[in-house]
């Protein structure tokens, strides 16, 4: 039962990164690809109807984590205190930028929100990558299952690291590049003309950055976190996940070269899913790995919310999840196809 919830929470988070990932990516590449006001409107219209629903996956994933493993929620959120509050402020700024830009027709007003949109999207992409890096590297949990890490110390990994060290910064940069690729792929799929041409070009360039950064990040992970190496050598079938991820990345680039926009977007989605699945596989059954004493790690066994709660949750989760799939498909089908913005 705990394993099911470990999978469910990981899956919800992975879907969140794939879905909100493309609108973060649009934010990152926005100043590069959308040079004119009509193009900017098209780029925003491409994510307008879906980004709120995408963001809800984060809230729902957070809710599920709280429900299934409250101790991890409590330890993680209080431990990464400053980073998470800063994430909140960035999410607020980003939400407002998307919502408010169209409310006033004034050049400065729009420039302000464009800046907020790109800045918050890029920073959040880096922060999410760094967060994943922290989960992989581990944190200094004490006997009560709590920890507190500052934003940075000396930028080195070790038993008492900061949230940012050389390795998590590398993960953050890789994350930003991956989402830039993903967002550019999405825009290429949803638009035509000059905007599409630029999006394809940016996606192509971002693809190379992704390859370099991902190779570096994989090497860093196996150096920083030996638990992953152990987990993979015990269950080598898990190598299928990173292998599938790398294959999807290769496919994304190959399809990109032939300007197969939809297929390339699907490939970059698969790439993200497979890489996050690799992480979940390597970490299992740990939820938060302790850097100080392995015995302090929070696992699916010692952080569970109880048998009855998890069983009854299964019922409403399956119903709710079915409904979500229906809504998500409904919304994406409703706005399927190229963005069509009337010129005033």
Partner 1 sequence: METALPYDRLQFAVTATFHYLFPQLTMGLALLLMYFRTRALTSGEEHYHCVALFWTKIFALSFAFGVVTGIPLEFQFGTNWAKFSTFAGGVIGQTLAMEGLFAFFLESSFLGILLFGEGRFSRRIQWVAALMLFLGSWLSGYFILATNAWMQHPVAYSVAADGRLFVDSLSGLLTNPWLLWQYMHNMTAAVVTGSFVMAALGAFYLLSGQHMVHAKTCLRTGVVAGAIASALMIFPTGHENARQVFEHQPVKGAAFEGLFRTERGAGILLVGQPNMETMTIDNPLEIPRALSFLVYEDLWAKVKGLDAFPREDWPDNLPLLYYSYHIMAGLGTILAATMGLALLWLWRGRLFTAPWLLWLIMLSAPFPYIANTAGWMTAELGRQPWLVYGLLRTADGTSPLVHSGNALFTLLGFLGLYLLLGILFLFLFAETIRHGPSVADAHPVGDPSGDQA
Map the footprint of partner 1 across residues 6-45, applying CB under 8 A: 41-42, 44-45
What does the per-residue mask of binding to partner 1 show for 137-166, with x meaning CB under 8 A? -------xxxxx------------------
CB of 81 to partner 1, least distance (A): 5
Does 107 participate in binding partner 1 (rule CB under 8 A)? no
Helix, coil or strand: residue 286: strand
Nearer to partner 1, 36 or 78 (CB): 78
Site for partner 1 in 307-326 (CB under 8 A): 308-309, 312-313, 316-317, 320-321, 323-324
Greatest alpha-carbon pair distance for the chain in Å reads 64
Residue range at the interface with partner 1 (CB under 8 A); choices 16-24, 57-65, 156-164, 284-292: 57-65
- From the number of C-beta atoms within 10 Å of its C-beta (0-12, 13-18, 19+), residue 37 rates as exposed
Contacts of residue 230, Cβ cutoff 8 Å, sequence gap at least 6: none
CB of 223 to partner 1, least distance (A): 28
Contacts of residue 227, Cβ cutoff 8 Å, sequence gap at least 6: 282, 283, 286, 289
Q: Which two tokens stand for residue 49?
A: 């109807």
Residue range at the interface with partner 1 (CB under 8 A); choices 24-32, 199-207, 222-230, 300-308: 300-308
Nearer to partner 1, 123 or 173 (CB): 123
> Buried (b) or exposed (e) across 26-36, using 16+ Cβ within 10 A?
bbbbbebbbee
Give the residue, chosen from 3, 36, 49, 192, that forms a contact with partner 1 under the rule CB under 8 A. Answer: 49
Beta carbons within 10 angstroms of residue 259's beta carbon: 14
CB of 169 to partner 1, least distance (A): 22
């Amino acid at each position: 039962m705990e394993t099911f919830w470990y999978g469910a929470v990981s899956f919800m988070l992975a879907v969140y990164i794939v879905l909100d990932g493309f609108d973060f990516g649009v934010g990152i590449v926005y100043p590069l690809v959308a040079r004119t006001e009509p193009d900017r409107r098209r780029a925003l219209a491409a994510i307008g109807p879906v980004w709120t629903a995408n963001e809800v996956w984060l809230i729902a994933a957070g809710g599920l984590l709280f429900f299934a493993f409250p101790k991890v929620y409590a330890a993680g959120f209080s431990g990464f205190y400053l980073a998470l509050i800063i994430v909140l402020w960035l999410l607020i700024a980003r939400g407002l930028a998307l919502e408010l830009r169209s409310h006033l027709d004034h050049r400065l007003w729009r420039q302000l929100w464009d800046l907020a949109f790109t800045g918050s999207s890029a920073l959040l992409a880096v922060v999410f990558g760094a967060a994943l890096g922290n989960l992989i590297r581990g944190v200094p949990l004490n006997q009560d299952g709590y920890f507190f890490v500052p934003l940075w110390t000396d930028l080195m990994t070790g038993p008492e690291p900061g949230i940012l060290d050389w390795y998590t910064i590398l993960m953050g940069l890789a994350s930003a590049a991956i989402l830039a690729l993903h967002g550019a792929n999405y825009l290429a799929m949803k638009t035509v003309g000059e905007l599409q041409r630029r999006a394809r070009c940016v996606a192509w360039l971002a693809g190379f950055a992704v390859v370099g950064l991902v190779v570096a990040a994989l090497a860093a992970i196996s150096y920083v976190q030996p638990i992953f190496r152990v987990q993979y050598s015990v269950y080598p079938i898990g190598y299928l996940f990173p292998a599938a991820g790398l294959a999807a990345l290769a496919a994304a680039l190959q399809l990109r070269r032939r300007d197969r926009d939809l297929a390339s977007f699907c490939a970059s989605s698969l790439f993200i899913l497979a890489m996050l699945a690799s992480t979940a596989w390597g970490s299992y059954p740990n939820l938060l790995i302790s850097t100080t004493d392995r015995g302090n790690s929070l696992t699916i066994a010692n952080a569970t919310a109880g048998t009855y709660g998890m069983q009854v949750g299964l019922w409403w989760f399956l119903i709710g999840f079915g409904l979500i799939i229906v809504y998500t498909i409904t919304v994406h089908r409703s706005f399927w196809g190229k963005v069509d913005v009337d010129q005033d």
